[in-house]
Amino acid sequence: MKKLEESLTLQLLRARESAMTFFRPVLQEAGFTEQQWRVLRVLNDHGELEAKQLADLCCILSPSLTRIINRFVEDGMISRRRSSQDQRITLLELTDAARKLVDDHSPDVDAAYAKLIGQLGEKKLNQLSKLLDEVIKLDP
């Protein structure tokens, strides 16, 4: 068995934590958790989505996502409506106010991303991204 330090899953967790050190201060300043920002970004990028689609794209479990959605609905950041084709399906979409928040904070997130790229290098980041895509697509 490999040493714990060489474990792929542990290395991936450590890499995630290291990468998030660039973004956490920005998100904290904006008043969002990592999960909340993911929800905002995904809805901003994809438009209206079903809750299950949103959970899959955000990599957030349903109970956590439900709490985030409920809070964002209360805060007027997400609108919720039933699908006209299937009343069992709830569709979620950012409000104009939430889109403005994403637009307002995106430059700071982009700056944090640029700082990460500056330290790692664009070539290495592209290589890493391709390798991670391969790992994601593995069939157990």
For the chain, give the mean pLDDT: 94
For range 126-134, the mean pLDDT: 96
- E strands, the chain, are 49-50, 78-82, 90-94
Task: Name 82's Cβ contacts closer than 8 Å, sequence gap at least 6.
Answer: 89, 90, 91
Share of the chain above pLDDT 70, in %: 97
Main-chain phi, psi angles of 77, to 5 degrees: -105, -20
CATH number at residue 64: 1.10.10.10
25 has a pLDDT exceeding 90: yes
Do the beta carbons of residue 50 and residue 91 sit within 8 Å?
Answer: yes
108 has a pLDDT exceeding 90: yes
User: How many separate domains does the chain show?
Assistant: 1
**pLDDT given for residue 3 in this prediction:** 77
pTM of the complete model:
0.88
Q: Tell me the residue type at 14.
A: R
Q: Taking Cα atoms as reference points, which of 105, 95, 110, 94 lies closest to residue 31?
A: 105
* Confidence grade of residue 2 (pLDDT, cut at 50, 70, 90): low
Q: Which domain holds residue 27?
A: 4-136
30 has a pLDDT exceeding 90: yes
- In this predicted model, what pLDDT tens digit does every residue of 73-98 receive, in sequence order? 999 999 999 988 888 889 999 999 99
Q: What is the CA radius of gyration of the chain?
A: 17
